Amino acid sequence: MHLIPYDTRIDFLRLRNVAIGIAAAMLIASIALLATRGLNFALDFTGGTMAELQFDKPVDMDGVRDKLEAAGYENAVVQAFGSESDIVVRLQPQPGQANAAQTGSAVLAAVQTPDNPGRVIASDFVSAQVGKELAQNGVLAIVFVTFGFIIYISMRFEWKFAVAAIITTIFDVICTIGLFSLTQHQFDLSVMAGVMSVMGYSINDTIVVFDRVRENFRSAHKVGPGEILNRSVNQTLSRTIITSVVALLTVLALYFYGGDSLEGMAESQIFGIVLGTVSSIFVACPLLHLLGVTKQDLMPKIRDESELARRP
């Protein structure tokens, strides 16, 4: 199936300087935002109180959040577990916060109604030290995944292809995290999972385009590198768009129907899919062109004759 004709002749490289300039500005802006504004870490990283509540009847999650906000508990995370009448409320640390049991009772008093009373099943306090360890482990997870991708790409491609793919992937990841610094939406473990999935999606899309570039370099004759790169992007354009649209539809369903607990992860994936698709077209191949890739980069290296002569 080809959504776009296989033999299109769109000159994507004509915009390479503009595209790389915009990408560089986005990357610098994202790093600046992370350095100055930081991220709005959720309870997963900051510590706080978690209370498990059970009601006689099913409860309205949005109504519970509104009541908690009216009671002064901002950015509360409310999730159902087991059934619609059992919920978990997670709260950010509060100034002069009482012990977990008293906080659980205060939360119950704020959200229960006369026609739907509830009870506190359990309440626990997550210390800031535990949150700090989670943040450190999360950063380490992203670093290890990044290094894993770097090792794989370095083994999979010649060095110019590897450098372009790595830069493109890092661009997608940092800009996705930068979005959460800009909007100050809560950054929790589910968002981190979304960011790591963006990394996988980005590198997969770039690899598909680069594989076609290598094939065209080896099969085409008397064709310049610019034409090879343009031809490769055009030939994979239909596949790129179809894959992106299908993935985007899935994530949009998660965003609209997955509830507040999955909203952050869906936001990171929506932005990451769009950005990853655009970067594989307008950033990856222009970077290859900037690095001066040629057919000779794909040719097997010829050993020095003097070195071969010394061998027994």
- Judged against a pLDDT cut of 60, whether residue 308 lies above it is answered with no
> Are residues 107 and 91 in contact, defined by beta-carbon separation less than 8 angstroms?
yes
pLDDT, position 94: 65
Least confidently predicted of 149-158, 220-229, 241-250: 149-158
Is the CATH number of domain 48-126 3.30.70.3400? yes
- Judged against a pLDDT cut of 80, whether residue 304 lies above it is answered with no
Average pLDDT, stretch 53-67? 87
pLDDT digits (tens, 9 = 90+) for 85-129: 888 888 876 665 556 778 888 888 888 888 888 888 888 876 665
Average pLDDT, stretch 228-232? 90
Secondary-structure class of domain 12-39+130-298 per CATH: mainly alpha
C-alpha distance from residue 262 to each of 117, 187, 242, 257 (Å) = 28, 11, 24, 9
The domain ranges of the chain are 12-39+130-298, 48-126
pLDDT digits (tens, 9 = 90+) for 282-293: 999 999 889 888
| pLDDT, the chain, mean | 82
Hey, which residues does 126 pair with through a beta bridge? 48
Least confidently predicted of 54-58, 151-155, 232-236, 261-265: 151-155
Could you give phi then psi for residue 137, rounded to 5 degrees?
A: -65, -35
Average pLDDT, stretch 61-67? 86
The string of DSSP codes covering 117-158 is -EEEEEEEEE-HHHHHHHHHHHHHHHHHHHHHHHHHHHHHS-
- Judged against a pLDDT cut of 90, whether residue 200 lies above it is answered with no
pLDDT, position 171: 93
